[in-house]
Amino acid sequence: KAAEAPRWAMTRVTTVGRTSWKPVAGSNGPAARRLYGFASDPGRGVVVLYGGGLGGTFTSPGDTWEWDGSAWKQIIPVDPEGDGNPAATVAMPLASDPVHGGVLLASDYLWLWNGRSWKKLDTGGLAPDSSMAWDVARGVLVHFGGGYGNATYEWNGTSWRNATPALASDSP
């Protein structure tokens, strides 16, 4: 029996049918890591991986990878905006953004990945170990948890607002 990979290891797989998985032969992808950001970019047909701690540590290479359904590709960002790139970090959430087209990363700032560059959209200052997702029906990015406990914040494309329910019993 083959040794099992650690829980934090990134496994390169593809689906076969609905219930089985198999390794993708010859797929060179990101090194094993934990606490990485991961989100789909449906407009470009890829999923995006950012950062994470290598080999079970909190040391992040701050790298950007894309999976197109058949292979991983490391992307070296360009910076036509002149605003730099996100800090090398762990445990920062990513979410698909159907309004701007791309993937959002919440860290020291809110960043948009468009497949070529990271663009700084807004001051973030949001907590690590949190989650976020785009609420398509209301057109807002919802950020929950992390260092803020059960706090909920929403970004409408221009500003953040605290949307934490008044009663703790109304939060997960």
pLDDT per residue of the chain (172 residues) written in tens, 0 to 9: 344 444 334 444 555 556 666 666 656 889 988 999 999 999 999 999 999 999 878 899 999 999 998 899 999 999 999 999 998 988 889 999 988 899 999 887 889 999 999 999 987 666 667 889 999 899 999 988 866 577 888 988 888 888 988 888 887 7
State the DSSP code for 56. Answer: T
Q: Is the pTM for the entire model greater than 0.85?
A: no
Residue with tokens 């032969």: 25
Q: If you compute the radius of gyration of the chain from its CA atoms, what whole number of angstroms results?
A: 17
138 to 85, 142, 158, 167: CA distances (angstroms)? 29, 10, 14, 22
In the chain, the amino acid numbered 44 is R
Cα within 13 Å of Cα(134), Cβ side: 19
The answer to whether the CB of 136 falls within 8 A of the CB of 98 is: yes
- Residue 92 to residue 52: CA distance in whole angstroms: 8
Check residue 41 and give its pLDDT. 95
The first and second tokens of residue 116, run together, are: 């070529």
- Residue 162 to residue 47: CA distance in whole angstroms: 29
Check residue 125 and give its pLDDT. 64
